[in-house]
């Protein structure tokens, strides 16, 4: 679906760059079909050298003649970018936004044309092709437009479709989720070091353990609870570790963290409307 389309990317930062890398490495697009705009000259030159794409400092040039526009800008910059492009964006290109908290209605209302908007919530593991991305479509976007968005983000991980009203929950769960996982890895590593392991050994063991556990969950053959039970023998070491986690309110704390991040996403979204 993407192969014959021209793509304009506004913002060549970490996530924008990851998407460009993913699309090109998977053969979804040719570098010559992609134009990226970014305010930083060094970033433009790095993208041009690494990916072979066309680069510019002018957002209007990036979207000109584009069949698909990816808005990979920070949420606080979205209103300014949309105002700049108000008369350049038309009903023809599909607009894909990865800005957290920015609704499809906000983007649709920024331009006189009936924009076809796909709102996306990716996460940082997309940078290594292991992202978790949720997508939803605006009132003018078609099922085909949504499929196009899923094709893009499937190049950097897994994708799911959700109702727009649940995007804040996605933000709290998978958008912020990598930070929770990194904190857990930090804690596991710290424990290993405190008990005598070398830092690099402890970090490697902790990281690989979470990676392997996640792969087992994604196989879908057993639930997380069943997988946990497989590791937990009566009177064994794992049971003692789990008792300590439960005594510290581990499960309740994680649930509270997701709820707090979700509420903050809602607050930020309201402030930007």
Distance, in Å, from the CA atom of 70 to the CA atom of 58, rounded to the nearest integer, reads 15
Residues (pLDDT < 50) of the chain are none
The strand pairing partners of 36, in sequence order, are 9, 55
User: Where in the chain are the domains?
Assistant: 7-167, 177-269
- The per-residue b/e assignment along 97-114, b for 16 or more CB within 10 angstroms, e otherwise, is bbbbbbbbebbbebbebe
The CATH-assigned architecture of domain 177-269 is: Orthogonal Bundle (1.10)
Mapping DSSP onto H, E and C, the string for the chain reads CCCCCCEEEECCCHHHHHHHHHHHHCCCCCHHHEEEECCCHHHHHHHHHHHCCEEECCHHHHHCCCCEEEECCCHHHHHHHHHHHCCCCCCCCEEEECCCCCCHHHHHCCCCCCCEEEEEECCHHHHHCCEEEEEEECCCCCHHHHHHHHHHHHCCEEEEECCHHHHHHHHHHHHCHHHHHHHHHHHHHHHHHHCCCCHHHHHHHHHHHHHHHHHHHHHCCCCHHHHHHHHCCCCCHHHHHHHHHHHCCHHHHHHHHHHHHHHHHHHHHHHCC
Q: List, for residues 125-184, the tens digit of each pLDDT value.
A: 999 999 999 999 999 999 999 999 999 999 999 999 999 999 999 999 999 999 999 999
- The architecture of the domain spanning 7-167 is 3-Layer(aba) Sandwich (3.40)
| Pair 184, 209: CB distance under 8 Å | no
Residue 177 is predicted with a pLDDT of: 98
Residue 181 has a CB neighbour count (10 Å cut-off) of: 14
Residue-level pLDDT at 273: 61
Please state the pTM of the whole predicted model.
0.91
Contact present, 74 and 43 (Cβ < 8 Å):
no
At 115, phi and psi to the nearest 5? -65, 140
CA distance 101 to 241: 38
Q: Which helix (H) or strand (E) holds 95?
A: strand 94-97
Task: Give the pLDDT score at 90.
Answer: 84
pLDDT for 150: 96
């Amino acid at each position: 679906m993407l192969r014959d389309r021209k793509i304009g990317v506004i913002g060549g930062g970490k996530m924008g760059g990851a998407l460009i890398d993913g699309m090109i490495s998977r053969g979804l697009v040719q570098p010559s079909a992609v134009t990226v705009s970014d305010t930083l000259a060094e970033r433009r030159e790095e993208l041009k050298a690494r990916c072979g794409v066309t680069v510019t400092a002018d957002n209007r040039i990036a979207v000109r003649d584009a069949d698909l526009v990816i808005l990979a800008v920070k949420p606080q910059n979205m209103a300014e970018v949309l105002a700049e492009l108000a008369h350049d964006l038309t009903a023809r290109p599909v607009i894909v936004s990865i800005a957290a908290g920015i609704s499809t209605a906000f983007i649709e209302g920024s331009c006189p044309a009936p924009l076809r908007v796909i709102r996306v919530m990716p996460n940082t593991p997309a940078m290594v092709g292991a992202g978790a991305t949720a997508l939803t479509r605006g009132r003018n976007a078609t099922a085909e437009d949504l499929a196009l968005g899923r094709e893009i983000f499937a190049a950097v991980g897994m994708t799911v479709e959700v109702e727009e009203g649940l995007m804040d929950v996605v933000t709290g769960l998978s958008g912020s989720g990598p930070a929770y996982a990194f904190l857990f890895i930090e804690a596991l590593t710290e424990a290993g070091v405190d008990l005598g392991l070398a830092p690099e050994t402890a970090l490697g063991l902790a990281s690989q353990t979470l990676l392997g556990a996640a792969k087992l969950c994604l196989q879908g053959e057993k639930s997380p609870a069943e997988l946990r039970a497989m590791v937990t023998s009566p009177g064994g070491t794992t049971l003692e570790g789990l008792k300590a986690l439960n005594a510290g309110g581990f499960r309740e704390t994680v649930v509270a963290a997701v709820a707090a991040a979700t509420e903050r996403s809602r607050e930020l979204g309201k402030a930007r409307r």
